Structure 1
């Protein structure tokens, strides 16, 4: 690196951190997740405003590959932390309600998304028609578990019956959506002549769950209190990076390996998981993810958005919001959840946030999306996340005890316990009464 590149990189990083903190704090004051402000900071530094003059001055061409490398690390760490928070016990406790809502809220928007992709094929399609259609379907199906969890925590609802159901459904949605995305990548031939490597994904998955996971559990079980020493922290980082590298090499994407390594960490080592989350979370949230937002924002260009583009954006929002809401609401009502709670749950399942941004960025990298449609998808991710809080307040008000009042005369809800992510404690009951 030259002196000019080094100084430009450091100056650009300082600007990224400062703007992300300012807009993230502003978003919090407006009762929005801080990620909204950080995403808008990334878009503001891109070519949408001032015709790219700001981004050109702060991030010259020689610096952008370095930012891209930091963004890769940031996304890998974030997906690892999502895996750490993913809790299978929550899914098991939710019963048929969670399974039905989750499957319906993924399959319906996926199907509608594929129909939308067929309609958009002529104007926005890429070379691989099958990959384009399937990928748009996946993009419509995303629910952001981390952002949803933050919304519930900020409202004091993470341990309420509704909060438990929403978190459990988001957990299942994550697995279903990531599985669909992995399948799209595998069948699209994005690995080129080395596509045969994707056959190694299955044995790698089995090895992680049936070899690596038991070894890690045994290591944790032999210690009464496992603290995050430098050696243990280094081992976690090595495992995270190696797992991400392997899935990237086999022709999937590094996000799957990072997520998988977080999932296999034993749930018994609560202190270890909390320490890992705290140390990596601070670095990721303060520096690495804001860099990713800027890298993603540099690809968003809304300066030439015309009436046709606005019409396409309207269709995308209609399919994304309508598909998710209808799928979740209808399934919840089918399971005899009260209408108000069903509407609140469907609203929460529409939260997309950073997870959607990562997915559409994968699509851009692999050539499934062009820049025009990518830009509209980013707007959809922001809008669906922004609307979640106000709609939730409109539907259920501002609960002070984290629960929903039950109207007089309504039968007591059928209960099912679930575990809040990262706590190991019962999080509440799931209402399924008529």
Structure 2
């Protein structure tokens, strides 16, 4: 790197960190998740405003590959934290309602998204039409577990019946969505001539679940009091990076390996260790690495040429994304005899997409499932569906008063006391 490149990189990083922090704080003051402001910070530095003059000045083209590398590390760390937070106990504690709501809130928007893909095919379709349709279905089906957990914690609803069900539904949605995305990546042939490596994906998954997980469990049991020493922290970092590298080599995306390594880390008896890992990685990721990802994602969003036709397509995307998710979750909740208002609140929560959606969209753009124009419209959808959750919940349940849990129970809600711990990281 030249002196000019180094200087530009450091100045650009400083600008990104400050702008993301300021707009994230502003979003929080307005009752929105910080991710809304951070995403808007990335878009503001992109080509949408002033035809990219800001980004061209702060971030010359020759340092952008370096930013993309940092962004990839940030996404890998974030996906590891999501896997670390995922807990099957959430599902077991929610009863029978969570699986049915999750399936309904995945299948309906998936089908509607694929149908919308047929309409959008002429304007935005790619060479691989099957992958395009399937990917749109997945993009419409996403729910962001971290954002949902943060919203519940902020409203003091994490331990209520509604909160338990919402967290369980989001946990199931995470696994189903990542499984569907992995399947699409596998069948689309994105690995090129090394497609044969895909055959190793199932053995790798089984090895992580039935060999690596028990080995880590035995290792944790040997420690009298598992603590996050520098050696343990280095081992966890190496593990998540190697697992991410493995799935990338297999022809899947590196996000799956990072997520899987978080899932296989031991749960019982390691609560303090996992909390410390979450705090250390969460602070670095949320303060530096994720703002870099938001910038890289924002540089690919260009709404400067949006016309009436594009606005119409955006309206359809929002209708399918919001309507499919809401109707699917609401109908399943009502079938399970959840009260009307709480069913609507659950359906609203399932519409939060946050950073999880941005990661999926970037995978689609990287692998050629989306073009830049459709990607830009989908990013707007992710922002809108995340931003609307707070106001709609206030309209449905009233403003947070510190007694939402009691209110929900008295109203007959069918809403994890551990969620506040899970939500200590960045609200993305």
Q: TM-score, normalised by structure 2?
A: 0.96
Tell me the equivalent position of 2:150.
150
Task: Give how far 1:421 is off.
Answer: 4.4
Task: Give how far 1:413 is off.
Answer: 6.8
Tell me the equivalent position of 2:366.
365
Q: Distance in 2 between matches of 1:226 and 1:130?
A: 47
In the alignment, does 2:183 pair up with 1:183? Answer: yes
The residue matched to 1:94 in structure 2 has which SS? coil
Tell me the equivalent position of 1:10.
10
Q: Distance in 2 between matches of 1:163 and 1:204?
A: 34
CA-to-aligned-CA distance 1:361-381 (integer Å, 9 cap, x gap): 100000000000000000000
In the alignment, does 2:231 pair up with 1:221? Answer: no
The residue matched to 2:405 in structure 1 has which SS? coil
Q: Distance in 2 between matches of 1:362 and 1:227?
A: 35
CA-to-aligned-CA distance 1:124-183 (integer Å, 9 cap, x gap): 101110110000000000000001111111111111111111011000000011111000
Q: Distance in 1 between matches of 2:406 and 2:173?
A: 24
Q: Is the 8 A contact 1:143 1:174 kept in 2?
A: yes
Tell me the equivalent position of 1:323.
324
Q: Equivalent of 1:402, from 357, 382, 404?
A: 404
Q: Distance in 1 between matches of 2:421 and 2:377?
A: 37
Tell me the equivalent position of 2:314.
313
Q: Distance in 2 between matches of 1:205 and 1:59?
A: 39
Q: Is the 8 A contact 2:354 2:382 kept in 1?
A: yes
Q: Distance in 2 between matches of 1:320 and 1:345?
A: 15
Task: Give how far 1:407 is off.
Answer: 9.6
In structure 2, list runs of 5 or more residues that go unmatched.
423-428
CA-to-aligned-CA distance 1:3-62 (integer Å, 9 cap, x gap): 110000000000000100110010010010111100000000000000100010111111
Tell me the equivalent position of 1:420.
418
Q: Is the 8 A contact 2:161 2:413 kept in 1?
A: no
Query: In the superposition, relative to structure 1, how do residues 395 and 413 fare at CA in structure 2: closer, same or farther (>3 Å)?
Result: closer
CA-to-aligned-CA distance 1:394-420 (integer Å, 9 cap, x gap): 011124213263698x8x677x9x663
The residue matched to 1:95 in structure 2 has which SS? coil
Task: Give how far 1:95 is off.
Answer: 2.2
In the alignment, does 2:392 pair up with 1:391? Answer: yes
Tell me the equivalent position of 1:301.
302
Q: Distance in 1 between matches of 2:407 and 2:12?
A: 49
CA-to-aligned-CA distance 1:84-131 (integer Å, 9 cap, x gap): 100111111212100000000000000000000000000010111011
Tell me the equivalent position of 1:427.
none
Q: Is the 8 A contact 1:158 1:402 kept in 2?
A: no
In structure 1, list runs of 5 or more residues that go unmatched.
425-434
Q: Distance in 1 between matches of 2:220 and 2:142?
A: 33
Q: TM-score, normalised by structure 1?
A: 0.95
Q: Distance in 1 between matches of 2:149 and 2:244?
A: 24
Task: Give how far 1:224 is off.
Answer: 2.4
Tell me the equivalent position of 1:276.
277
RMSD: 1.5
Q: Distance in 1 between matches of 2:378 and 2:84?
A: 27
Tell me the equivalent position of 2:254.
254
Query: In the superposition, relative to structure 1, how do residues 53 and 413 fare at CA in structure 2: closer, same or farther (>3 Å)?
Result: closer
Q: Distance in 2 between matches of 1:206 and 1:19?
A: 43
Tell me the equivalent position of 1:376.
377
CA-to-aligned-CA distance 1:346-389 (integer Å, 9 cap, x gap): 00000001000000010000000000000000000000000000
The residue matched to 2:347 in structure 1 has which SS? helix
Tell me the equivalent position of 1:428.
none
